[in-house]
Amino acid sequence: MKSEVSILIPFDLGLELEFGGEEANRIVKEISARTTQLIAFKDKMTAKAQVVTQIYKFGVGLIEVSFPLEAEMGFLTYFATEVKSIRVGSMGILSWVKTFVNSLIEQAKVFASYQYVYRLEELDLFPVFSLEPGSVKDAEKFLEEHYKRLYGIVSGEANYDSLSQFVMDNEKLINFGYYENELILIKRFGAVISSYESQVILNIIRLVYALYWNLLSYNFLLDRELDKVQSILAHLPPWYKFWMMPQRYQKFSEEGMNFVQDKLSIVESIYSVFANVNQIASDWHLRTIYKYVEKEFDIDDIASAVKVKLDRVEQSYNSAREFIATNFFIAVEIVLILSLLWMILDTALLYIISKK
């Protein structure tokens, strides 16, 4: 069976981007395209691959390694579940990607409108198999015949042959094909497509996967921010060290303002992802696929978690400032009261001495 394999590899740029000129309203930009060295998979196949790198406005880069592959379904499943075993030249695919991620980030900085202090450095692989259009004559029959193999591809389950009926009943594969001969299967770890609209569907997967990675990077960033805030809260100066408080208050205010900038960029990024995706919005079928892919990647749940962490960090900075301000004024009042008492005592002593 002939197919085009696309391996999607997202990475965090640690940037928010703005494209200029005619591309100002676009959400994605291609920055490089080239042919790789010979790639190999466990001495069972070799091929030349095309490598295309795109950057998304919300701060994610996506490397796509694609090549043709003709094989039976069993081999496609084996390939999908062992995709990290691919070698490019003499290097494993993830090690190979890491060698040029930094140079891609430098290229992207030309379009940067904001840069974060930290960035998520993890990488992942998502294989998409685009079967030759027309190779699937009856999608339901094809799905029934290759059910476990297809499940292995999209779920990344190497032991797909041993899956129980419980799994089959509760994690059913849903074909989102529009026509009887159209196959569109997508889950968290892979996708299989046989459609004349395969490129549009692949674009949807690219966008949602990049958005998923973007939210993961925000989660990572906010975890670091929460650690910093907890450290700050654990070392707040006590009331009697009032001379330290103005400096600490200024420091926390600066940290809080820096975080507000991060928060504004994050919130704007989350809400601007769907801008200008008109082809999806105007087509019922593509819109349905988009929502389904979002659900598979838990986009709404991760976005909600990010928003909760944003609020927690902001509240923590506000609480730290309020605590210091309150303690400072309490300390000042105590000093004033003590000064007043000393003045009264001093006056009384002078009065007593003068009487003598």
For 120-124, 165-169, 196-200, which range has the lowest pLDDT when averaged over its residues?
165-169
Residue pair 171/155 in contact (Cβ under 8 Å)? The answer is yes
Residue 232: is its pLDDT beyond 80? no
User: Are 17 and 57 within 8 A, CB to CB?
Assistant: yes
Please say whether the beta carbons of 81 and 126 come within 8 A: no
Q: What is the model's pTM?
A: 0.80
**pLDDT reading at 269 higher than 80:** no
- State how far the Cα of 182 lies from the Cα of 37, in Å rounded to an integer: 33
Helices (H), the chain: 73-81, 93-108, 139-145, 147-155, 165-170, 198-234, 245-272, 278-281, 284-296, 299-355
Residue 102: pLDDT above 50? yes
SS3 48: strand
Domain spans, the chain: 2-197, 205-352
Residue that wins the pLDDT comparison between 306 and 129? 129
Q: Which residue has the higher pLDDT, 104 or 334?
A: 104
Phi, psi of 282 (to 5 degrees): -95, 0
pLDDT tens sequence across 2-11: 889 999 999 9
Predicted confidence (pLDDT) at residue 345 exceeds the cutoff of 80: no
| Distance (Å, whole) CA 209 – CA 82 | 20
Coil, strand or helix at 190: strand
CA separation for the pair 20, 133 (Å, rounded):
37
Measure the CA–CA gap between 346 and 352, rounded to whole angstroms. 10
Between residues 203 and 274, the one the model is more confident about: 203
**Helix pair 299-355, 198-234: axis angle to 10 deg:** 20
Mean pLDDT of 253-276: 54
Cα end-to-end span (Å), the chain: 116
Band (290; pLDDT cuts 50, 70, 90): confident
Express as a percent the part of the chain with pLDDT over 70.
Answer: 80
d(CA 210, CA 64) in angstroms, rounded, equals 12
pLDDT of residue 276: 46
Do residues 66 and 50 touch, judged by C-beta distance below 8 A? Answer: yes
The SS3 call for residue 59 is coil
Helix orientation angle between 299-355 and 245-272, rounded to the nearest 10 degrees:
160
